Chains A and B, each alone.
Chain A
Amino acid sequence: MNLDQLQQKLLAAARARPPAGDVPLGFERRVLARLRSSPAADPWAWWVRGFWQAAASCAALSLLLGLWVLVAPTPGATAEPLDQQLENTVFAAVDEANESVW
Chain B
Amino acid sequence: MLTGRGGERPVGNSALAGMSGFGNMPAMECSDAEIIAAVLQGDTARFEELVRKYSPRLFAMAHRYARRDSEVEDIVQEIWLKAFQKLADWRGDAPFEHWLMRLAVRTCYDALRVHQRNREATFSDLSDAESDWLERFAAAPETASEQAEAARQLVARLLEQLPPASRLVITMLEIEERSVKEIAALTGWSVSRVKVRAFRARAQMRRLLARMVREKYL
Contact = CB atoms under 8 A, between A and B. Distances in A.
A89 to B, nearest CB: 56
Interface residues of B, number: 43
B66 to A, nearest CB: 9
Main secondary structure of the interface of B (DSSP, over half): helix
B55 A28 contact: yes
Contacts, number: 103
A13 B138 CA distance: 16
Contact of A23 (B59, B144, B152, B158): B59
Interface in B109-149: 137-138, 141, 144, 146-148
A49 interface: no
Interface stretch (A1-9, A51-59, A70-78): A1-9
Contacts of B210: 3
Contacts of B148: 13
A102 to B, nearest CB: 73
Contact of B146 (A7, A9, A21): A9
A10 B156 CA distance: 10
Interface string A16-35: 11111111100111111011
Contacts of B56: 21-23
Contacts of B84: 35
Main secondary structure of the interface of A (DSSP, over half): helix
Given A20-B63, A23-B56, A7 B81 contact: no
B44 interface: yes
Contacts of B60: 18-21
Contacts of B192: none
A31 B51 contact: yes
Contacts of A31: 47-48, 51, 77, 80-81
Contact of B155 (A11, A18, A28, A36): A11
Contacts of B209: 3, 6-7, 10
A12 interface: yes
A48 interface: no
A27 B213 contact: no
Contacts of B64: 19
30 contacts: A1-B137, A1-B213, A3-B209, A6-B213, A7-B202, A7-B205, A9-B141, A10-B154, A11-B155, A11-B175, A12-B146, A13-B148, A13-B154, A13-B155, A14-B152, A14-B175, A16-B152, A19-B63, A21-B56, A21-B59, A27-B51, A27-B73, A28-B51, A31-B48, A31-B77, A32-B45, A35-B44, A35-B84, A36-B44, A38-B81
Interface of A: 1-7, 9-24, 27-32, 34-36, 38, 41
